[in-house]
């Protein structure tokens, strides 16, 4: 899509839309939903050059500048500081956004401000974990989803999902139809890296090749327990005796058994949070990327790994097939299934890397903008924009709300 055409379409004479956005998942260490929201924010800035944007958060956020048209609204009121995160969104953000006279509100994290929101609202549905795999959830998140998700669906003016699989589950389980699919994209950092770049990153962690890689928060749904067991079993049998298993990601919840399994083997190495450039090098040098999640709304790490030319082993569910396409090896997320996938992957030829430009965030943002502004730009053709979205050193302008 030619970005200039899109900008002309959305910037009609006298049109300066004011858009409110749930900013709770944003911060210096982006992952999952936070990354999705942030990348779309940057792309929205590019295709809506006349718009003003307002991010709402219960706490300060260390964010780089997107453009001068962005403001961070931090709720410093006594009530705002006391409320749990999801309850704060439901109870406070509608009123706060009214002060800014927003024309549309994007609820990009899966729940809507239910009290006091008096403008057009668009709800992004990332997944249906609370329905598909409730036993894997943080108790507070499960409570909020059960209490507020159906109400958010009913109150939203429009609903979008991040994958066709999620849209199908939403319609089948809740009888709500997504207005559009706003799929995740890829940033330019996710490209194949050289062997020397991979070695440099590994050196910082005291690790050498060969290795297998997995990227996820440490929580039950991600399948880390059967992965570690499969890896240790294959090592004990001499099938991959020299490999390490590198785990990228931070601790989550219900993770004590994962920690114990990881501690019992020197070949399992936890790297914690890893920045994008280093992660691209790790994807590129891995003998296989393993993502045995029991359920996902899409599976962004699978797409990132493919963009870096990695062999991918992942669970055989519709949403992960959208992310993996024909390049991945699909298995049951069990110890035996993962073993079979690893055996195939380490012997397979490396697949051709996905071109990140085929999954650009601007195209996804254009779909979201159409729904947010209740317009159509079907005649426009978006392409990756010039780099107007480079991160600056100064933080987004912050305003304290009381």
Tokens encoding 180: 């559009």
Strand (E) or helix (H) holding 104: strand 104-107
Q: Which one-letter DSSP state was computed for residue 395? A: B
pLDDT digit string (tens) for 61-111? 888 889 999 999 999 898 888 899 999 999 999 999 999 999 999 999 999
Sorting pLDDT into bands at 50, 70 and 90, what band is 264?
confident
Pairing state between β 18-22 and 52-57: parallel
Domains by residue range for the chain, with CATH = 3-185+360-401 (3.40.50.2000), 195-347 (3.40.50.2000)
Beta bridge partners of 57: 74
Say if residue 350's pLDDT is above 90.
no
Average pLDDT, the chain: 88
State the pLDDT at residue 395. Answer: 47
Entry pTM: 0.86
Residue recorded with tokens 């959305």: 10
Tokens encoding 69: 């048209």
Say if residue 378's pLDDT is above 80.
no
CB distance 246 to 213 below 8 Å: yes
Average pLDDT (32-37) is 93
Starting from the edge strand earliest in sequence, which strands make up the sheet with 268-272, in order?
Answer: 268-272, 244-248, 211-215, 288-291, 312-315, 329-331
d(CA 206, CA 183): 36
Residue recorded with tokens 């009121």: 77
d(CA 297, CA 51): 29
Average pLDDT (39-65) is 93
Say if residue 393's pLDDT is above 70.
no
């Amino acid at each position: 899509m030619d970005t200039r055409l899109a900008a002309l379409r959305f910037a009609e004479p006298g049109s300066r839309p004011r858009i409110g956005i749930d900013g709770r998942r944003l911060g210096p260490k982006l992952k999952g939903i936070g990354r999705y929201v942030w990348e779309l924010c940057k792309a929205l800035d590019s295709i809506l050059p006349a718009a003003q944007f307002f991010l709402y958060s219960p706490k300060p956020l260390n964010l780089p500048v997107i453009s001068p048209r962005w403001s961070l609204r931090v709720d410093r009121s006594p009530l705002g500081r006391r409320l749990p995160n999801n309850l704060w969104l439901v109870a406070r953000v509608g009123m706060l956004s009214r002060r800014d006279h927003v024309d549309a509100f994007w609820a990009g994290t899966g729940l809507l401000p239910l009290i006091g929101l008096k403008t057009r609202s668009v709800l992004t549905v990332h997944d249906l974990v609370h329905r598909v795999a409730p036993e894997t959830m943080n108790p507070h998140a499960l409570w909020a989803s059960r209490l507020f998700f159906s109400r958010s669906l009913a109150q939203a003016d429009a609903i979008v999902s991040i994958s066709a699989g999620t849209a199908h589950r939403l319609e089948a389980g809740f009888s709500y139809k997504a207005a559009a699919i706003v799929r995740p994209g890829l940033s330019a950092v996710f490209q194949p890296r050289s062997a020397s770049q991979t070695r440099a990153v590994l050196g910082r962690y005291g690790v050498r090749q060969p290795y297998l890689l997995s990227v996820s928060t440490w929580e039950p749904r991600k399948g880390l327990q059967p992965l570690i067991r499969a890896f240790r079993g294959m090592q004990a049998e001499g099938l991959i005796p020299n490999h390490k298993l590198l785990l990228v990601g931070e601790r989550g919840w219900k993770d004590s058994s994962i920690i114990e399994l990881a501690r019992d083997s020197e070949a399992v190495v936890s790297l914690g949070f890893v920045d994008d450039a280093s992660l691209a090098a790790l994807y590129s040098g891995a003998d296989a990327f393993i993502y045995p999640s029991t359920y996902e709304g899409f599976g962004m790490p699978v797409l990132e790994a493919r963009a870096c030319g990695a062999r991918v082993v992942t669970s055989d569910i519709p949403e992960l097939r959208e992310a993996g396409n024909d390049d991945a090896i699909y298995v049951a997320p069990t110890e035996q299934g993962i073993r079979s996938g690893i055996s195939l992957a380490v012997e397979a030829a490396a697949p051709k890397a996905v071109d990140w430009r085929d999954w650009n965030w601007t195209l996804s943002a254009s779909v979201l903008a159409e729904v947010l502004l209740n317009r159509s730009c079907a005649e426009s053709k978006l392409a990756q924009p010039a780099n107007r979205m480079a991160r600056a050193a100064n933080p987004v302008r912050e305003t304290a709300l009381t």
